[in-house]
Structure 1
Amino acid sequence: MTFEPDHGAPSSPATSWWRRGWGRLKSWRPGWGSRTGPAPSGRRRLWSWTWRIVVVVLVLYFPVGALIVHNIDDDPQFAPRNVAPGESRAVATAAQFVTREVDVSTWTPMMPFFVPAGILDNMPNFQRGIMAALGRFSTELMDQVGRTRGTSQVDRDLEQARGFLNEQPNIWLWQPSVSLLPSTTSAQKYRAGRDRLVAYNKRLASGQAVFERRADNLQALLDRIANDEGSDSAVIDQHIIESAGDLFDLRADDIFYFNKGRLYANFLLLRELGIDFENVIRERNLTNAWNGTVETFRIASALDPWIVWNGYPDGLLIPNHLAAQGFYLLRARVQLRELTAILLK
Structure 2
Amino acid sequence: MNKVAQMLKKVGAAFGAGCASIFRAFPRGAKGVKLASALMLLLLLGLGGLGWYWSREPLAFDVRASPALFKSTQGRNVVTGSVTTATLIQVGETLLDKPGGYLSNDRTPPSIFLDNMPNWEFGVLVQVRDLTRSLRNDLSRSRTQSLENPSLAAAEPLFNYDNNSWVLPASESQYREALSHLHTYIQGLSQQQNPDTQFYARADNLRDYLTIVEKRLGGLSQRLSASVGPTRVNIDLAGDPNAGQSTRPAVTRGHKTPWLELDDVFYEARGSTWALIHFLKAIEVDFADVLEDKNAKALLQQIILELEATQQPVWSPMILNGNGFGFFANHSLVMASYISRANAALIDMRALLTDG
TM range (shorter): 0.7 to 0.9
Q: Is the 1:267–1:298 Cα contact (8 Å) retained in structure 2? A: yes
More deviation, 331-340/161-170: 161-170
Q: Deviation digits for residues 279-336 of structure 1, max 9, x if unmatched?
A: 1011111121121112111112335342311110121x20111111111111111111
Take 2:32 and 2:310, find their aligned partners in 1: how far apart are those partners? 54
Corresponding residue for residue 190 of structure 2: 205
More deviation, 129-138/304-313: 304-313
Take 1:160 and 1:47, find their aligned partners in 2: how far apart are those partners? 59
Say whether residues 1:191 and 2:176 are aligned partners.
yes
Take 1:61 and 1:152, find their aligned partners in 2: how far apart are those partners? 55
Say whether residues 1:147 and 2:122 are aligned partners.
no
User: Which among 84, 90, 114 is matched to residue 84 of structure 2?
Assistant: 90
Question: Identity percentage over the alignment?
Answer: 22
Would the alpha carbon gap of residues 301 and 167 (structure 1) be closer, same or farther in structure 2, given more than 3 Å must change?
farther
Residue identity in the other structure for 2:223: V
Would the alpha carbon gap of residues 67 and 237 (structure 1) be closer, same or farther in structure 2, given more than 3 Å must change?
closer
Pairwise CA distance, 1:165? 1.6
User: Which among 308, 323, 329 is matched to residue 312 of structure 1?
Assistant: 323
Corresponding residue for residue 8 of structure 2: none
Normalising by structure 1, report the TM-score: 0.78
Would the alpha carbon gap of residues 44 and 322 (structure 1) be closer, same or farther in structure 2, given more than 3 Å must change?
closer
Say whether residues 1:109 and 2:119 are aligned partners.
no
Normalising by structure 2, report the TM-score: 0.75
Query: Secondary structure of 2:169's match?
Result: coil
Take 1:117 and 1:136, find their aligned partners in 2: how far apart are those partners? 27
CA RMSD across the alignment: 2.5
Alignment of 1:161-310 (within 5 A): 161-173=155-167, 183-207=168-192, 208=194, 209-241=197-229, 249-302=259-312, 304-306=314-316, 307-310=318-321
Larger Rg: 1
Would the alpha carbon gap of residues 128 and 216 (structure 1) be closer, same or farther in structure 2, given more than 3 Å must change?
same
Alignment of 1:47-66 (within 5 A): 48=33, 51-52=36-37, 55-56=40-41, 58-66=43-51
Alignment of 1:11-50 (within 5 A): 44=28, 48=33
Would the alpha carbon gap of residues 196 and 302 (structure 1) be closer, same or farther in structure 2, given more than 3 Å must change?
farther
Take 2:178 and 2:151, find their aligned partners in 1: how far apart are those partners? 9
Would the alpha carbon gap of residues 225 and 43 (structure 1) be closer, same or farther in structure 2, given more than 3 Å must change?
closer
Corresponding residue for residue 121 of structure 1: 115
Say whether residues 1:80 and 2:66 are aligned partners.
yes
Pairwise CA distance, 1:64? 2.7
Take 1:233 and 1:277, find their aligned partners in 2: how far apart are those partners? 27
Take 2:218 and 2:212, find their aligned partners in 1: how far apart are those partners? 10
Query: Secondary structure of 2:28's match?
Result: helix
For these two proteins, the number of residue pairs brought into alignment is 291
Take 2:56 and 2:27, find their aligned partners in 1: how far apart are those partners? 44
Q: Deviation digits for residues 125-177 of structure 1, max 9, x if unmatched?
A: 1111111111111011111101111121111111121112222221112xxxx
Take 1:305 and 1:133, find their aligned partners in 2: how far apart are those partners? 26
Q: Is the 1:76–1:298 Cα contact (8 Å) retained in structure 2? A: no
Corresponding residue for residue 240 of structure 2: none
Q: Is the 1:74–1:264 Cα contact (8 Å) retained in structure 2? A: no
Take 1:289 and 1:68, find their aligned partners in 2: how far apart are those partners? 36
Q: Is the 1:303–1:325 Cα contact (8 Å) retained in structure 2? A: no
Q: Is the 1:62–1:119 Cα contact (8 Å) retained in structure 2? A: no
Residue identity in the other structure for 1:309: L
Take 1:187 and 1:339, find their aligned partners in 2: how far apart are those partners? 35
Say whether residues 1:343 and 2:342 are aligned partners.
no
Where do 5+ consecutive residues of structure 1 fail to align?
1-41, 174-182
Q: Is the 1:74–1:302 Cα contact (8 Å) retained in structure 2? A: no
Query: Secondary structure of 1:162's match?
Result: helix
Where do 5+ consecutive residues of structure 2 fail to align?
1-25, 232-255
Q: Is the 2:120–2:270 Cα contact (8 Å) retained in structure 1? A: yes
Residue identity in the other structure for 2:178: G
Pairwise CA distance, 1:257? 0.7
Query: Secondary structure of 1:300's match?
Result: helix
Take 2:46 and 2:117, find their aligned partners in 1: how far apart are those partners? 18
Would the alpha carbon gap of residues 305 and 53 (structure 1) be closer, same or farther in structure 2, given more than 3 Å must change?
closer
